[in-house]
Amino acid sequence: MPRLQVYLPDALYRAVKERQLPASELLQSAVRAELRRQELLEETDRYLSELIEEVGEPSPASVAKAERLAGRVRGEKTRASKAS
């Protein structure tokens, strides 16, 4: 198995050592998760490109509606609910 030297900020190094965490295993897991996250983002971009080709760009009203819905899902308050 190839080796790789990794540098950690002092505080992060101390936290890993204090908790006796397996740094190599943690790094492997983190790298796998990041690679998977990037693959999913790339797949999402491909899907959206295909969708836009098929049905066209969303209207400004559709984008605004989607942003409001996403905000509600995230638990963000709307201007109307902030005023009350």
| Of 2, 7, 1, nearest in space to 23 by CA | 7
- Cα–Cα distance list, 75 to 54, 66, 69, 70 (Å): 32, 14, 10, 9
- Per DSSP, the residues of 31-65 read HHHHHHHHHHHHHHHHHHHHHHHHH-PPPHHHHHH
Q: What's the pTM value of the predicted model, to 2 decimals?
A: 0.67
| Of 66, 63, 68, nearest in space to 80 by CA | 68
Q: In this predicted model, what pLDDT tens digit does every residue of 19-67 receive, in sequence order? A: 999 999 999 999 999 999 999 999 999 999 999 999 999 999 999 999 9
